[in-house]
Amino acid sequence: MSKKLLAVPFVFSLLLAFCPEVFAYSPAQIERFVIRSLREVVGAQATYNATTGGGNYGTFQNLGQAQLIDAVLAAGFKYGYSFQTVTIAATATTPARYYVSARPNRYRKTGRKSFYTDESGVLRGADKNGAAATVSDPEIEYDCLPYEDCAIANMRTLHSAEVTYGATIGNNSYGTFAQLYAAGLISASLADGSYHGYNFTCTINNSATPATFNFSAVPITYGVTGRRSFYIGLDGVLRGADRNGEPANENDPPIQ
């Protein structure tokens, strides 16, 4: 028996040991898990940029060391997908940037679609026959349940968008929902302020030194579209609690 044939069961044994979900779920379900992981990366990058990174974004290793993503994702392989991130450091005239892509390791087996996102938080993707997705691919709507998961993902997207706006168009000032949408940093649905069962509000204080902002998310129908309310400020720490339909604040516990 050839060494190549012997290697096949070894590879599958590794997959079964470290990624049993690849065998337990359909490619479509795995793609949803991958999308969720990409949203986690967006939130982690926003937090890293506002804290440890000092205005720059981190590699997967950096994010893992800061305990912002799990060890498996930090290694660049999860759910039968390969994840890659590229970071571009800030200069005197341009803000830091990053992008992250995810493509199926075994096209059609672990997924068909490849995905791409960057500091804007906009998710893109398409069936690329196993090749990497790019910024030129179409935007993908983040369809998720339960509603609280969507609210968490959207809060992190809003934070990332606001940080990007302040470092570019805003010139150290922050923008309204309409301004973030006009800058291409959030979707029209999110800019409306009511999305996936939650109402979102933005509070900006551009007269402060430095300027500050925070976002709040409250379930539209308490107990039906969600129980927890959420809060995120300039520091990028997402907080939340069951507030009986009232807004969360900076004193609520952090959400991982």
Lowest mean pLDDT among 20-29, 59-68, 151-160, 209-218: 20-29
Position 8 in a domain: no
Same domain, 194 and 114: no
Give helix then strand counts, H and E, for the chain. 8, 10
Contact 130, 104 (CB under 8 A): yes
Q: Is the peptide bond before 9 cis (omega within 30 degrees of 0)?
A: no
Any idea which residue has 């060391």 for tokens? 65
pLDDT in tens, 153-185: 889 989 989 999 999 999 999 999 999 999 888
Position 60 in a domain: yes
Q: Structural domain tally of the chain?
A: 2
Same domain, 121 and 40: yes
pLDDT for position 15: 46
Position 79 in a domain: yes
- Residues 238-246: what's their mean pLDDT? 95
pLDDT in tens, 40-92: 888 788 778 877 888 899 999 999 998 888 999 999 999 999 999 999 998 88
**Domain span at 183:** 147-242
pLDDT in tens, 180-201: 999 888 888 889 898 888 999 9
Contact 177, 138 (CB under 8 A): no
Same domain, 123 and 168: no
Last residue of some domain: 74, 94, 127? 127
Distance of CA 209 to the CA centre of its chain: 28
Position 35 in a domain: yes
pLDDT for position 49: 82
The string of DSSP codes covering 131-186 is SPP-TTSPB-----SSHHHHHHHHHHHHHHHHHHHHHTTTTT----HHHHHHTTSS
Same domain, 110 and 176: no
Share of the chain above pLDDT 90, in %: 52
Position 76 in a domain: yes
Same domain, 163 and 197: yes
Residue 208 CB coordination number (10 Å): 9
Contact 159, 232 (CB under 8 A): yes
- Residues 115-130: what's their mean pLDDT? 90
Residue 11 scores a pLDDT above 80: no
Residue 223 scores a pLDDT above 80: yes
